[in-house]
Amino acid sequence: MHELPVTESILEIALRHARQANATRITHLYLVVGQLASIVDDSVQFYWDIVSKDTIAEGAQLHFERQPATLACLDCRHEYSPGGDGFACPNCHGERVKVVSGDEFFMQAIDIES
């Protein structure tokens, strides 16, 4: 997707919360990434090392928690995680599905020193 502005956004959020807590250093960031959110961890990590330089977050470790997607079948209402054969419903083999979760991308918490 768009890892540079995303990484800048991560830094902005972390620094804002750290400032509110009077932190002197940010050591860990915990991010939750849905399976369907198009985020490439390695690419975020690459930009992170650049954008966090000379801030209190420099050297902080990024942790990505991948959240599996949940789909709902519109025909039989069954909820399931997409498997290897694509998106079809394992219960009724219906192909009309709705995404219930898996798009999320948020910062759960940060570890700070103060």
Partner 1 sequence: MVKNISVIENILSANDRIAAENRAVFDSAGVIAYNFMASPGAGKTSLIEQTVRRLASIHKLAVIDGDIATSLDADRARAAGALALQINTGGECHLDAVMLQAALKQLDLSGIDLVIVENVGNLVCPASFKLGTHKSVLIASIPEGDDKPYKYPGMYRGVDALVINKIDLLPYVTFDMAYFRKGVEILNPGLVTFPLSCQTGEGLETWISWIGAQTRKK
Q: Please give the residue ranges that form the binding site for partner 1 (CB under 8 A).
A: 1-2, 5-6, 9-10, 12-14, 17-18, 21, 23, 27, 31, 36, 38, 74, 87-88, 95-99, 104-114
Residues with Cβ within 8 Å of residue 60, at least 6 apart in sequence: 14, 25, 26, 27, 28, 29, 52, 110
How many angstroms separate the CA atoms of 21 and 100, rounded?
Answer: 34
Q: Provide, rounded to whole angstroms, the least separation between the CB of residue 4 and partner 1.
A: 9
- Residues 15, 57, 62, 113: is their CA dihedral positive or negative? negative
Q: Alpha carbon of 105 to those of 24, 41, 81, 108: distances in Å?
A: 26, 12, 18, 9
Q: Provide, rounded to whole angstroms, the least separation between the CB of residue 2 and partner 1.
A: 5
Q: Which is nearer to partner 1, 21 or 92 (CB)?
A: 21
- How many Cα neighbours within 13 Å face the side chain of 21? 17
Q: Provide, rounded to whole angstroms, the least separation between the CB of residue 54 and partner 1.
A: 22
Q: Which is nearer to partner 1, 2 or 53 (CB)?
A: 2
Q: Provide, rounded to whole angstroms, the least separation between the CB of residue 72 and partner 1.
A: 11
Q: Which is nearer to partner 1, 23 or 51 (CB)?
A: 23
